Amino acid sequence: MAVLPIEVIETIIDHLSHDHRALARCALVSRTWVPCARFHHFRHLELLFRPSDDHARNFMHICSNQLATIPRSGPRKVSFVATTNVFTEPPKIIREFMVWLRTARAYQSGTMAEVLLGSMRELKVTGMTSTFWPLLADLPSGCFLRTRKFVLSQAVFDSPGGFITLISSLKSLDFLELNFVVFRSSYQVGSEGVSSLNMLRILKVTLGASADLLWIFRPCTTLEELVVEVNKDYSLAYVDSFLAQSLSVKNGTLAHCVLRPDIPRFQRDLRKEINFTRNPGPRFTIEGELSSLLVIFNQFELPSLSHPPSKLTRIVLHDLNVVMYRGRNRLHVFPSFDSWLAKDAFFQSLEEVCFEISETFRKEVLEVAGWNESAMTVEKGSIPHIAMKEKIQEVEELLPKCKGRDLLKAKIAYMTGSH
């Protein structure tokens, strides 16, 4: 094999840095082709087991080469997309792949699992079936020693016990996100929970069919932030019960709770379902769309100064689009919302009302304006900056009482596209 000058190799790799398929092909060659200086291009590893077996088989073939780059690079972020239907048996290729991880050797440095996953900081699994998680739990414990973040979406477990076993094996977890995790059998209150995670600080949960999922984390003593998306109003009772029993609340560690009610119309008063004045207890943030949040508080009773001041310190209004409200002849929701926050004692503790707004511009317009995509900023005085400033001013004029209390804060996003 011809050896190219390292300058040429690095130039080629840099031009391929956004082409993951081409990078994977390059990884088949060797460190000569992909030098150490460019290993950072392989730090995010995504494995797809459907629609065909080809992706996984090609990956195993590439990594089995003793000079393969991907294992040497030590991926920091690993994503498994196991199956699209969690209520069926996983494809056979998954079992074959997990056996390969445990048994294949990586250039005399240990098993493929230990080398390929040993540097993993973040693990994301989508589509976990009840027969897949034991395969993951059977991997050497050294694979998860550095794993700080775990995101699990669309997962089915026969019982909460299997879930507890899996989560408890991730000893270094700092951040855990659970989206639509389902148990075929319910969790018995008072049963064993997750108590061995001594570093878990942030827990994000979408409560769906298994609303008792939160109870499993009652024994955790290190939680600092809880983010809960609720898509069934009866789940609010589970949230409040957790806050009443959580050891992280009782010892004063849990400082912040974010509620994201994702329901078109609540049948229960959020203020009565959740104790917002618990002491010790967290401060609260409520996030949602403007009209939906107004409905949540407005449908039950008039604003009252007799409500006890709560620990609700922040409201986030998602995707605030004044043009849409005007087009639907619904601008009246702005003064209603503004007056409600001013009149009800429940909102006296508010420190911030953050509203998210976005505007789409042609890419060349943003580039001329000095667009920084990561920081989401443009140069002052540019066309996008002026347009966004006008949108912010319009919101401030529609919410004068909030502006007078210095509550309003804009979170802006410059988007690319036809305009």
DSSP class per residue in 81-105: E--S-TTSPPPHHHHHHHHHHHH-B
* Per-residue model confidence (pLDDT) at position 402: 96
* Per-residue model confidence (pLDDT) at position 244: 94
Domain assignment of residue 213, yes or no: no
Domain assignment of residue 292, yes or no: yes
Tell me what the pLDDT averaged over the chain comes to: 82
Domain assignment of residue 324, yes or no: yes
pLDDT tens digits for range 342-351: 988 889 999 9
- Report the alpha-carbon distance of residue 232 to residue 247 in Å, rounded: 25
Domain housing 2: 1-41
Contacts of 407 (CB under 8 A, 6+ apart): 341, 350, 351, 352, 353
pLDDT tens digits for range 202-214: 999 998 766 678 8
Domain assignment of residue 396, yes or no: yes
Domain assignment of residue 195, yes or no: no
Domain assignment of residue 139, yes or no: no
Would you state the torsion angle of the CA atoms of residues 36, 38, 39, 45, taken in this order, to the nearest 10 degrees? -160
Model confidence at 325: pLDDT above 50 = yes
Give the side-chain half-sphere CA count within 13 A for 232: 12
Domain assignment of residue 366, yes or no: yes
pLDDT tens digits for range 83-137: 666 666 677 888 888 899 988 887 667 888 888 888 899 999 988 877 788 888 8
- Among 76, 57, 59, 77, residue whose Cα is nearest residue 68: 59
Residue 230 φ then ψ, to 5°: -110, 120
Of the candidate ranges 127-136, 149-158, 331-340, 390-399, the one whose mean pLDDT is the lowest: 127-136
Q: Please tell me which residue, 161 or 151, carries the higher pLDDT value.
A: 151
Q: Please report, for residues 115, 322, 323, 331, 375, the alpha-carbon distance to residue 327 in angstroms, rounded to integers and kept in the order given.
A: 57, 9, 6, 9, 31
DSSP 107-152: TTSSBHHHHHHTT--EEEEEEE-TTTHHHHHTS-GGGGTT--EEEE
Model confidence at 33: pLDDT above 70 = no
Domain assignment of residue 29, yes or no: yes
Q: Please tell me which residue, 50 or 184, carries the higher pLDDT value.
A: 184
- Report the alpha-carbon distance of residue 63 to residue 115 in Å, rounded: 11
